[in-house]
Amino acid sequence: MAEFAQRITLAITGASGVQYAVRLMECLVAADVQVLLMISRAAQVVAATETALSIPGATAAQQKYFTQLFNAKPGQIKVFSREQWMAPVASGSGAPATMVVCPCSTGTLSAIATGASNNLIERAADVALKERRQLLLVPREAPYSEIHLENMLKLTRMGAVVLPASPGFYHKPETINDMIDFVVARILSQIGIEQSFMPRWGDALLQSDENPPSHD
Ligand SMILES: Cc1cc2nc3c(=O)[nH]c(=O)nc-3n(C[C@H](O)[C@H](O)[C@H](O)COP(=O)(O)O)c2cc1C
């Protein structure tokens, strides 16, 4: 089997914004990252509701579907099912150094905050926390309840990074894809993967010979 530059765990849960996960996967595949993927049942419902994707129900079919969709190498996208406890992500000895939950439903957020571990996504996040690995959560809800905020604070204090799916507008997005890219660029930056589609803050200044006056 092919060797890959890096390996990460990606969980897609049932918050709105499955488009972020799809774009993220596309970027990861292009960066030669192997993706250990889990998709919650609710995420499949959300995907059917808000995208033209028709993600199959069975994990083997999902693996084939995403491999074809992104023209990934054989074995580059590995999909694991809800109770596949023998998967590498279920143990500290096998889990990758980074896990991203994108989008992260408030339900999964709560399960991670309490260590519920009732399905493989929750268990993989629990492993990431206990092993002090990188755990990046991309919640989407509005407004946030006190429960959501408490869970986010608790997880942040444990070392997880909460990166809300809230695109900025200072790059003057013209399309929905521009807004998706804004969030995905932030995720890639967190997990240390280069991207060239979204300029970084201050890039224009670095590339220019001019040094405009500061405002202080
Ligand atoms: C179309 C649709 C949109 C949803 N949007 C959100 C959302 O933005 N944020 C959220 O936390 N839950 C949202 N939900 C509810 C979750 O899917 C639901 O709480 C589910 O139990 C989460 O399960 P999971 O964490 O296993 O994916 C949505 C559900 C549907 C069907």
- The domains found in the chain, sorted by start residue, are 6-207 (3.40.50.1950)
Residue 110 is predicted with a pLDDT of 98
Residue 46 near ligand 1, beta carbon < 6 Å: yes
- Ligand 1 atom at minimal distance to the Cα of residue 109: 25
C-alpha 45 – ligand 1 centre gap (Å): 9
Distance CA 214, CA 43 (A): 46
Give percent of the chain above pLDDT 90: 88
pLDDT-based confidence at residue 215 (cuts at 50, 70, 90): low
Q: Is 40 in the pocket of ligand 1 (CB under 6 A)?
A: yes
Burial 163-177 (b: 16+ CB within 10 A, else e): bbbebeeeeeeeeee
Query: Cβ(42) to ligand 1 under 6 A?
Result: yes
Considering only residues 50 and 205, tell me which one the structure prediction assigns the higher pLDDT: 50
Tell me what pLDDT residue 2 has: 64
Question: Is residue 39 within 6 Å of ligand 1 at its C-beta?
Answer: no
* SS3 label, residue 5: coil
Spacing, Cα 72 to ligand 1 middle (Å): 28
Distance CA 148, CA 146 (A): 5
Task: Please answer whether residues 125 and 113 qualify as being in contact, where contact means their C-beta atoms are separated by less than 8 angstroms.
Answer: no
pTM beyond 0.75: the answer is yes
How many angstroms is it from 49 CA to the middle of ligand 1?
Answer: 11
Mean pLDDT confidence for 67-74 = 98
Percentage of the chain beyond pLDDT 70 is 97
For 170-186, what is each residue's pLDDT tens digit? 989 999 999 999 999 99
Which ligand 1 atom sits nearest the alpha carbon of residue 106? Answer: 11
Stretch among 33-37, 159-163, 196-200 having the lowest mean pLDDT: 196-200
